[in-house]
Structures are given as C-alpha cells and as structure tokens.
Amino acid sequence: MRLAPALVLALLLGVGAARAEPRDPAAAELHFKQGVAAAERADWEAACASFRESHSLEPAPGTLFRLADCEEHRGRVATAWSLFEDSAQQLGAADPRYAAVKARAAALEPRVPRLTVRIEPATPPEAVVKRDGVALGRPSIGVPLPVDPGAHEITVEAASRAPQRFPFRMIEGERSSIVVGAGAAMQRPVAVVGSDDGGAATRRTLGFVIGGVGVAGLLASGVLTLAMVGEHDTVEEHCSPDKQCDGDGLDAASAGRGLSTGATVAAVVGLAAVGAGVTLILTSGKSGSTTAVGARARGGSTTLTFARSFP
C-alpha cells in the first residue's frame, strides 16, 4: 500500500519531534488518532478540532502539520499557510523535513487573500479598529494582511462616536483594500430651558426663533442626505459587488460617510430645536413653568425628550 505524500511527511514529522513539557500525552495521542480517522473520511471540521486539541495538550510539529493540511482542505488557506510556516519554524532549517514543509507553505501562499485596511483621516486617533473581533494595531494599518476566504467584518469604535461596522467578503488570491472610519458623534443631551419670568410674549418669540433654527437644521440634513445618495451612486459605478473599488469609488465611499455624519448631526440639532421651539410657543401662557428639551444620537437613531415642570 502506498501512502500519500502528505501522510508520509506527517508521520515523519511525528517521529522524534522535540516535545517540551508534555501536559497530557495520552489524551493528545487519542485526539491525534481521532483526527486522523476524521481526515480519512473527509470530515475536516472534526479532524481540525481533534488536531488542534491534540496540539494544545502536547505541542508537536507533526500535529501542527496535520492541522495545517486539514485547514487547507477546509479552504482556510491563510490559517493553513501560517500553520505550515509555524511547523517549519519549530523544525528549524537543519532538520531534513524542513524543506518539504516550507514547500507546502510556498505553494499555498499565492492563494492567500490579503486585505489592506486604511483609516479615514477624520477618525479620532484613539479609535479601536477590529477585524473579526481582533484589534488591529497601528502597524497593521495600511499593510496587506493575510485573511481567510469568506465573510468578515471590521468594526471601528471611538469614545462619543457611534460604532461602525464594515462587512466584506474575500476570495482566494484576492488583493483588496477597504477604508474605514468612526461613526457619527453621539450628542450629549441638549437642554433648552425656558422660564415664564420674562413674559409670555418673550417666550413665544424665543420659541419661533429656536424653531426656525431647528427647521434650518432639518433642511440641511435633507440636503446632505441627497448628496450622500449621489456619492452612493458613484460607489455603485466604481466598485464591484465584492467591494473592490477604484480611486473614484474609494473617494466616494469616504465622502459618503462624512456626509452621513453631517446629516445625522444636523438632524439631531434640528429636532431638538424644533421641539424646544414648539414647546415654548405652546406653553408661553403657563406662568412659572419650566421646559427642557433633549436630543441624543446613538448609532443610526435619534431620541428626542421633553420635560415640563410647574411651580
């Protein structure tokens, strides 16, 4: 019976491998055998889980090699490439098996997708950028990082900003980039307080003035929203369905997010001012009363609150 080259290499790697401080060799051996059995029936998810557990209980280059081969069969080529490289590093260049493991890594590398993450200039420096829940440090920004094919998500979080989500998909061998930034500013409650001490006429006049400012804010929000729709059309024209964009597409995407932020802020201020103006007008005849209006933006929604107190 002839053994497949990958199996022969895995067996060779398992013989005489350096094993520092084994934690549970018996359990590791059991999981390794379960992984081999699952791989033989092409149950790659179960095989990878067994090999990963075996390696955690007793690290060995042979187990790592089998895990890498398993992940490649699952289509997680970036993970597999990294594991092949780790296995070769553990062996060392002097080991006769080193060249074969490096060859597997080299053959796989062209298939590994790479994504370059760029940050919009207006993003606060303290913003935290995460890819699939793992924080990306500043050295990782602007660098084509390996990523497995499939669906992923980048999130951007910053103090006093709405969190932003950027879902995307990658395919084997793809080289792509994405521009991300922080969300709209989350406004602190804006209180407009009026008192009837100055007389009903003064309160009514103040209500009309504040209401007019609010209407202007809402109109500005509408204009910005229309401009944002225009930028979205440009993105549709210059970006492919898998999120690959040319220069015009990337510029339009960045501009669209900026317009979205401006529209949200204008809407929040407009709603607060209109609410305050209407309340002042309607309550201008109530002596000794006090009115407070608040607005808060969080994510894609706006909350408007009213409070009325009487003597």
For 234-272, the pLDDT digits (tens) are: 767 767 666 666 667 666 667 667 666 766 766 666 677
Q: Does residue 176 fall inside a structural domain?
A: yes
* 79 plus 160 within the same structural domain: no
* 136 plus 154 within the same structural domain: yes
* H helix and E strand count, the chain: 8, 10
Contact 238, 251 (CB under 8 A): no
Both tokens assigned to 211: 């209401």
The domain in which residue 144 lies consists of: 114-180
Q: Please tell me the predicted confidence (pLDDT) of residue 34.
A: 96
Contacts for 172 with CB less than 8 Å, ≥ 6 apart = 75, 77, 111, 112, 113, 149
* 282 plus 228 within the same structural domain: yes
> Which of 74, 56, 69, 80 shows the shortest CA–CA distance to 13?
69
Residue indicated by tokens 């993105």: 235
Cα-Cα-Cα-Cα dihedral sign, residues 203, 283, 276, 225:
negative
Q: Does residue 187 fall inside a structural domain?
A: no
Q: Please tell me the predicted confidence (pLDDT) of residue 176.
A: 95
Both tokens assigned to 46: 């179960």
Contacts for 16 with CB less than 8 Å, ≥ 6 apart = none
For 14-48, the pLDDT digits (tens) are: 434 444 455 899 999 999 999 999 999 999 999 99
* 155 plus 80 within the same structural domain: no
For the chain, list residues with pLDDT below 70: 1-22, 187-203, 206-207, 209, 211, 213-214, 217, 221, 224, 227-229, 231, 235, 238, 240-247, 249-253, 255-256, 258-260, 262-263, 265-270, 273-274, 276-311
Q: How far apart are alpha carbons 41 and 29 in whole angstroms? A: 19
* 149 plus 199 within the same structural domain: no
* 214 plus 294 within the same structural domain: yes
Q: Please tell me the predicted confidence (pLDDT) of residue 115.
A: 97
